[in-house]
Structure 1
Amino acid sequence: MPPQSPSPRTVSASMEQIRQDYAERFPGWTQQLITLFSGKAAAGQRPPWWVTPPIVNWFLTLLQLALAVLGSAYAVRLLGWASLAVLPLTWLTTVNAVRKLQITWSHHAVHKEVSGNRHVDKVVQVVSSAVALTSNYEDIFEDHVRKHHSRKVFTTLTDPDAGYLVYLGFRPGTPVEEMRARLRWMPLSPRLHLPSLLYRVRTNFVTATWTRRIASTVWVALLVALGVLMDGAEFTAAFVIPWFVLFHWSALFQTISEHPYLAFDGPPASRADYVARTWGRFCLEPLPERDAPALRRLCQWGRWLLRTVLVQTPARFGVLASDLPAHDLHHVVPADHAWHLAFWHRQTHIDDAHESRMEKRELTLAGAIRHVLHGISESPLAPAEPPARAA
């Protein structure tokens, strides 16, 4: 991929067309629900009156987390092996809540976009990151605000997210098929989980302020107490698997689909180049053909339902939690601090023919991952000789 990024490889039909199809074929009362599920608003759609204010939503996230943990624990206690039919739902709900504490509340609190009061937002960040056992305020400010958002760093080798991918073995010049194979087994690799776990320990108990260390210690002590009250299977199902294993999976797939990391030989040369390094990721399946024969249409609807439940739902709630589908708006229009309305505000900019042309860069999660892997493989940063296979 050349230094100046082209638009991402397009999906089979543009998201604008797919979303318009949903608007035409589903009842009006479902349209806001479709937007909330997919992250993609319909043309001309405005926010509903019932969007929860951020600070209220933060408390609801904490409640969601508590109920999901209890759901996993009691499913194991009461259902035994039959709990395997329930746990995927409680795990998805748990990892969604923990990820929101990190990528929504901790992230937007650092940007001072939760309550409008910097002291309240600091409390939100400390509590959210301590409960999720993720980056403390100082670490996330340094890595995310000062580095990732900097035009001199964005998507380059010095971007912390790009460095994370290189560490995992996604190195410039690596053949795409090799990286796909690596991505398939990476969720089971200690190379993903051990460093992630060590970082979470370091940011909570080593680099953190004393206030944050105390908060983290109190929280971990509470988790230990709960572990004593539960048996091993309950604690593993309620905490270990969703809080760590699935959390690390979510972070991996989110990062490797977020921006075209390592696809350039330098930082963005202009605003147009910067904008081209962002995109939206939406969870919409194309609808079946309107005029297909009845049997074929029935099969297509069955496939649509299966993919919506088994592919798009985990992608939306397990990886692209909260406002992440419209994350490009956060970079393209940073002055828009109403991130909880990002789906609708993004579409308003598209309807108004905003110069960024965000509608030209809309992908599914899988499509975004493909684009990132191709960018890394074709990167001008690739060495003259193919890179050695990572251990």
Structure 2
Amino acid sequence: MTHKHQTAQVREKLARLGLFWPKPLYHLLQEGITWLTGKPYWGQQTLLNQTPWIHLATACLSLFGGAAVAWAIATSSPVFWVLLPIPWLFVVGAARKLQTNISHQCVHFNFSRNKIADRIFGELISTVLLSQDFGAYRRDHIEDHHGKNFATTEDPDAVFLLELGFSPGMRDDDP
């Protein structure tokens, strides 16, 4: 039995357990398990339908809110400095989401479905995060990754995965 199949069986057993619980508690349990594992049970509906705009708003709120809280802690009494890692987690998580999700969708012109708007968002994100500018990122990503070198030893993403120990043809349940 594959790992994926075993995971699905465990999720389904947990889903059946909830039939004997009060509905609000059952839904809260299932949402919590889905949040922790990233694996919804069969037929589970999403709690929120997150549009690209909600992703952008929550990432910006987390980035700027986390930075504001970190600044407030850093400029307060040194006793509170031990709390700094908490807002840093929000800032780093938001920066990562902006770069790997939103900027990536902008590079493919999939974020707003408007090339001009996606370019503006991509440029703003790269400016705020002090990362590779939109044009260079798009060129690297589209030409080097999605171009003729896709999934070859010339593809930087494939090289990175090979360096991590992944090999072509690996399955989910391979150690």
What TM-score range do you get, normalising by the shorter chain? 0.7 to 0.9
C-alpha distance in 2, partners of 1:78/1:145? 46
C-alpha distance in 2, partners of 1:112/1:96? 23
C-alpha distance in 2, partners of 1:113/1:61? 17
Shift of 1:165: 6.9
Secondary structure in 1 aligned to 2:68?
Answer: helix
Length-normalised TM-score, structure 2: 0.75
* Residue of structure 2 equivalent to 1:68: 66
Q: 1:90 aligns with which of 87, 92, 96?
A: 87
Q: Is the Cα contact below 8 Å between 1:105 and 1:114 reproduced in 2? A: yes
Gapped runs of 5+ residues in structure 2? 19-25
Q: Within 5 A, what are the aligned runs for 1:95-114?
A: 95-114=92-111
* Residue of structure 2 equivalent to 1:40: 39
Q: Within 5 A, what are the aligned runs for 1:102-251?
A: 102-150=99-147, 152-154=149-151, 156-163=152-159, 170=163
Letter in 2 for 1:361: D
C-alpha distance in 1, partners of 2:77/2:17? 40
- How large is the RMSD of aligned CA atoms in angstroms? 3.1
C-alpha distance in 1, partners of 2:5/2:85? 31
Letter in 2 for 1:69: A
Shift of 1:70: 1.5
Secondary structure in 2 aligned to 1:41?
Answer: coil
Fraction of identical pairs, as percent: 26
Q: C-alpha offsets along residues 253-298 of structure 1, whole Å, 9 cap, x if unaligned? A: xxx49xx3xx35xxxxxxxxxxx56xxxxxxxxxxxxxxxxxxxxx
Shift of 1:148: 2.4
Q: C-alpha offsets along residues 231-261 of structure 1, whole Å, 9 cap, x if unaligned? A: xxxxxxxxxxxxxxxxxxxxxxxxx49xx3x
Shift of 1:17: 2.8
Q: C-alpha offsets along residues 145-188 of structure 1, whole Å, 9 cap, x if unaligned? A: 3332357421x32111344578xxx4xxxxxxxxxxxxxxxxxx
Length-normalised TM-score, structure 1: 0.37
Q: Is the Cα contact below 8 Å between 1:143 and 1:160 reproduced in 2? A: no
* Residue of structure 1 equivalent to 2:50: 52
Letter in 2 for 1:15: T
C-alpha distance in 2, partners of 1:96/1:15? 27
Letter in 2 for 1:63: L
* Residue of structure 1 equivalent to 2:8: 16
Alignment of 1:361 with 2:172, yes or no, is yes
Q: Is the Cα contact below 8 Å between 1:101 and 1:128 reproduced in 2? A: yes
Go from structure 1 to structure 2 and tell me whether the alpha carbon gap of 1:29 and 1:115 turns closer, same or farther (over 3 Å shift). Answer: same
Shift of 1:69: 0.9
Q: Which has the higher contact order (CA 8 A, sep 6+)?
A: 1
Go from structure 1 to structure 2 and tell me whether the alpha carbon gap of 1:153 and 1:68 turns closer, same or farther (over 3 Å shift). Answer: same
Find runs of 4+ consecutive structure 1 residues off by over 4 angstroms.
10-13, 162-166
